[in-house]
Each structure stands twice: as structure tokens, then as C-alpha cells.
């Protein structure tokens, strides 16, 4: 499958492919694919001849660089015009969402923009035999289509957010912040945190606590939880278990333990932590990322058994434990490049079908890095994905949220990670946060949105993503979330 790439009506000779993956008709990423660019053509090699789509970071004039996709297309010898196919997919998605949301009168002022986009698309199809001309028409339509679709998503979110607020549908956990344990000894840091959120997420790593087999050191965690408890914050903690290499104890990595032994050790650790803090922690993120982070190469059956063991250990130790199972990379792009992984939807469905008892799913979302699942997406895509996960029938916690307030270097460069409308700065971060939080909390299934990084620091998942500067001076994004807190509490 081939795609010809145009810019300003001319074939592109230089194009950096970022965030590229292929997916099938079920939306799942395809494995064993190869995507390359040469002489104006993106060539996609895949393991079979089934219809498939291409997703990649794509520039839209006047809108930025966001991760977009084509529809699923059949193989053919002649290359597709990528500009046209990305436009086609966006228009189809917008029509589907508009019908699902029954949002017609509320977006009347945007009708002219929508009509222009569709008319230009029709002209592009009529000129598809002249791909250069078709690409110009498609590019002109694409900006209009993106503006219309995102404003449509925001319009729907604002309407539902207002309804939920008037119904007093927001709980104390609706706004949360992830804690940096190293900083809790600083009074200013704790004040900034408690002024912003009523729910604090305390990170836990097995590797940091049980550095020797059977010997746990809770001293740092004790200090952190004690300080936060004094501020009358609701506390969540986790993940109690994560099977990425860096989260696992060194002594466990060095051994050759069987699955049964690893499960026994994991059960013991969860029991130890929950038993110690069950009077202070209200939300337990019992296991995280096992859909994608699977260092030991567990089979599907073992993945489910480990998930079951984690939830059971928490419940056995604390009968009233509120347990969350966390999913990373909710778009499932990791499946294209990572072995021993499961698509997020497939994992969540299997957990539900297997009868594992727990209270909520958590979805980890961070944007602004040239890494799988972290490229910039627009609000329409985010809203669509949250709607999809809402169908699972479980409450949702959106966790680890981060977005930059300035461009970074390397993988944090906006040319590689993506740009939302304009270059990243504090005002752009604040506007994104306002729309993202309104959109997320407009969904009845979303009980909480937890920001992942309060203060700028070198170890954050996304560079320059703090809500306050290193001197603890609030950014505009911090003020936006303060106003949101007042709004949901009024």
C-alpha cells in the first residue's frame, strides 16, 4: 500500500514519518509492518493483503501537527493521495460523532465551515485523477474540517458539563494531582497542591520499596502520606504492581522465578502495602499497564491471573478497598511494535469477561512526546476515545495527564511530538487544559482527571509540563484548574 504526499500542491521530497502505525478494520494496530518514505511516497508493508489504514503525525495549516489517520483502504498498485484520504477519514468521523451526539442546532454557527469542507472534498474527489490538484483542494478543506470537528466536540462537552454541574454530579475525586514524594517536604509545594485539588495520587513502585526479598522500606512513603493526610486530602496510591522493567525489584529481575512464584510475591507485596495504609488511602491503583508493559512475557491467561491476584489481594486485606485497573496507551499503538502485549480494548474486555472484581478502570493519557501513544491529538479524537471506553460499563479515571507549556528538545520537539494550533507556551497549555478537562468531565463515566506533574522538573514524563514553575510560581494552566475547582464545588 502506497500514499503520495503533497504540500502546497507539489510532491514532498522531505517528510519525517512520526508516530506512524497501521491498523485493521477492528481498529487494532497491525504488527510486523514497515512504513518508509522515499521520493514523495510513503510505502506501507504489512503481513497480509487485508484492508488497512495508516495513522501518522500530519501537518494541518492553521491547526498544527496532530496524529491523524486514513480510513481502512484496500491494497492497489497506484498510490493513494494521502492528503485526500486523511480528509476523508476526518469527515467520516465527524459525521458519525455528530449523529451519535445528536448535535445539530447547537453547532449552527459552524454550518458554513462544515459545508465548505464537504464541498472542497467533493471537488478533490472529482479531480482525483490529478492528485496534485486534488491535494490542494483537500488541504484547503482539511483546516476547515479540523476546526469544525474540534469545535463540535467542545460544544458537546460544554453542554454536558453544564448539565452535570447543575445536577451536582462531581465528586471529591473529580480533580486530582499526582504527587512528587521528593517535594512534599516543601511547604509551598504542598500548599500549591492542596489549593488545586482535593484528591492526591501517591506514586508507588515495587522496586523502590522492596529492595530486598521480603524486606520493605516504607519510610519515605510514610512521610509523604502523613504530610498529605494533614491537609485533609483524599488519597489514592499506586500502581501497586507494574511489570515494566524499571518498576520491578532488581532481585526479582535477577532471579528465574516461575509465574507461580512471581504471583505469590506480587500478592504478598500488595497485601503488605494495603494492610499498612488502608486507613489513609481511599483509592488503590492495584495494577497498571499490563496490557503493554509485560517484562516477563506473561501469556494472556497469566496476564488475567495476575490482574485477578492483585485485585483479590487488595480486597482480602481491605474489604472496602476501591480498586482500579489501569491501562496505558489507550489507543493501542504499542501493539505495532511491542511483543507480549494486548490491545487496550481487548485487555479491558477480557478482564470484564473473566469476572475479575474491581471498581473502575484508569486510562493513562499524556501528550507531547515522540513516543507511542503520546503524540498530540485533537479534542475530537480524545472525546471519541473516552466515549468508546465508557461503553465498558465501569467508572473511568483519567490519570497521568501532562501537556507541555513550552517546546522541548529531542523527542519533545513539537515537530516530532506534535503541536496543537500554535507553538506551545503557557497560554496554549492553559487553553488545552480548559478544553480537555471540560471534555473529560462532561462524560458521566469519568469520575476523576488526575494531572501527572505539578511542578516542572527534569524527570517528568513530558518536558515543561508542570502547572507551576520550579520556583513554585503558578502558570496560567494552574489558574485555569483553580477556577475549574471553584466551578465544580459551587
- How far apart CA 183 and CA 188 sit, in angstroms, is 9
Helix axes 379-390, 82-101, angle to 10 degrees: 50
Give me the DSSP letters along 119-163.
HHHHHHHHTTTSHHHHHHHHHHHHHHHHHHHHHHHHHHHHHHHHH
Q: Which domains does the chain have, with CATH numbers?
A: 2-155 (no CATH), 163-489 (3.20.20.80)
What is the Cα–Cα distance from 249 to 251, expressed in whole angstroms? 5
Q: Using alpha carbons, select from 452, 450, 487, 478 the residue that is nearest to residue 173.
A: 450
Residue where the block lists cell 504492581: 241
CB count in 10 Å sphere of residue 127: 18
Q: How far apart are CA 146 and CA 134, in angstroms?
A: 18
Preceding peptide of 239 cis, ω within 30°: yes
Asked if 237 contacts 177 with a C-beta cutoff of 8 angstroms, the reply is no
Q: How confident is the model over 369-396, as pLDDT tens digits?
A: 999 999 999 999 999 999 999 999 999 9
pLDDT values of the chain reduced to their tens digit, one per residue, 490 residues: 999 999 999 999 999 999 999 999 988 899 889 999 999 999 999 989 999 999 999 999 999 999 999 999 999 999 999 999 999 999 999 999 988 887 655 556 678 888 999 999 999 999 999 999 999 999 999 999 999 999 999 999 999 999 999 999 999 999 999 999 999 999 999 999 999 999 999 999 999 999 999 999 999 999 999 999 999 999 999 999 999 999 999 999 998 899 999 999 999 999 999 999 999 999 999 999 999 999 999 999 999 999 999 999 999 999 999 999 999 999 999 888 887 889 999 999 999 999 999 999 999 999 999 999 999 999 999 999 999 999 999 999 999 999 999 999 999 999 999 999 999 999 999 999 999 999 999 999 999 999 999 999 988 999 999 999 999 999 999 999 999 999 998 6
Amino acid at each position: 500500500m502506497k500514499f503520495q504526499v503533497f504540500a502546497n500542491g507539489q510532491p514532498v521530497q522531505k517528510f519525517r514519518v512520526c508516530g506512524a502505525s497501521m491498523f485493521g478494520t477492528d481498529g487494532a494496530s497491525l504488527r510486523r509492518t514497515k512504513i518508509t518514505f522515499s521520493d514523495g511516497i510513503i510505502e506501507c508493508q504489512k503481513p497480509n493483503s487485508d484492508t488497512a489504514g495508516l495513522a501518522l503525525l500530519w501537518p494541518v495549516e492553521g491547526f498544527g501537527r496532530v496524529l491523524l489517520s486514513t480510513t481502512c483502504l484496500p491494497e492497489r498498485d497506484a498510490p493513494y493521495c494521502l492528503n485526500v484520504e486523511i480528509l476523508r477519514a476526518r469527515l467520516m468521523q465527524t459525521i458519525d460523532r455528530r449523529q451519535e451526539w445528536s448535535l445539530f442546532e447547537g453547532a449552527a454557527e459552524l454550518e458554513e465551515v462544515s459545508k465548505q469542507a464537504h464541498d472542497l472534498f467533493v471537488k478533490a474527489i472529482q479531480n482525483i485523477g490529478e492528485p496534485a490538484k486534488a491535494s490542494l483542494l483537500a488541504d484547503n478543506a482539511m483546516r476547515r474540517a479540523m476546526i469544525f470537528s474540534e469545535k463540535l466536540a467542545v460544544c458537546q462537552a460544554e453542554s454536558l458539563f453544564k448539565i452535570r454541574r447543575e445536577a451536582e454530579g462531581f465528586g471529591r475525586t473529580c480533580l486530582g494531582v499526582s504527587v512528587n514524594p521528593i517535594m512534599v517536604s516543601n511547604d509551598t509545594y504542598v500548599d500549591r497542591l492542596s489549593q488545586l485539588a482535593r484528591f492526591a495520587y501517591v506514586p508507588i513502585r515495587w522496586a523502590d520499596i522492596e529492595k530486598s526479598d521480603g524486606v520493605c522500606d516504607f519510610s519515605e512513603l510514610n512521610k509523604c502520606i502523613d504530610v498529605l493526610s494533614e491537609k485533609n486530602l483524599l488519597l489514592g496510591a499506586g500502581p501497586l504492581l507494574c511489570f515494566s522493567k524499571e518498576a520491578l525489584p532488581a532481585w526479582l529481575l535477577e532471579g528465574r522465578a516461575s509465574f507461580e512464584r512471581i504471583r505469590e510475591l506480587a500478592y504478598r507485596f500488595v497485601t503488605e502495602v494495603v494492610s499498612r495504609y488502608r486507613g489513609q488511602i481511599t483509592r488503590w491503583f492495584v495494577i497498571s499497564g499490563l496490557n503493554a508493559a509485560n517484562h516477563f512475557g506473561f501469556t494472556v491467561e497469566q496476564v488475567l491471573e495476575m490482574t485477578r491476584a492483585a485485585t483479590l489481594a487488595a480486597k482480602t486485606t481491605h474489604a472496602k478497598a476501591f480498586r482500579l485497573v489501569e491501562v496505558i496507551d489507550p489507543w493501542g499503538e504499542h501493539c505495532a511494535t511491542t511483543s507480549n502485549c494486548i490491545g487496550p480494548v481487548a485487555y479491558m474486555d477480557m478482564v470484564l469477561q473473566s469476572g475479575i472484581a474491581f471498581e473502575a478502570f484508569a486510562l493513562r493519557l499524556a501528550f507531547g512526546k515522540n513516543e507511542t501513544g503520546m503524540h498530540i491529538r485533537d479534542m475530537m479524537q480524545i472525546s471519541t476515545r473516552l466515549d468508546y471506553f465508557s461503553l465498558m460499563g465501569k467508572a473511568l479515571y483519567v490519570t497521568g495527564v501532562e501537556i507541555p507549556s513550552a517546546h522541548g528538545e529531542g523527542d519533545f520537539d513539537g515537530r516530532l511530538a506534535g503541536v496543537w494550533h500554535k507553538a506551545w507556551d503557557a497560554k496554549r497549555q492553559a487553553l488545552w487544559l480548559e478544553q480537555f478537562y471540560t471534555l473529560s468531565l462532561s462524560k458521566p463515566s469519568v469520575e476523576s482527571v488526575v494531572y501527572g506533574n505539578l511542578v516542572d522538573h527534569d524527570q517528568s514524563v513530558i518536558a515543561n509540563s508542570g502547572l507551576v514553575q520550579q520556583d513554585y510560581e503558578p502558570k496560567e494552566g494552574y489558574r485555569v484548574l483553580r477556577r475549574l475547582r471553584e466551578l465544580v464545588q459551587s
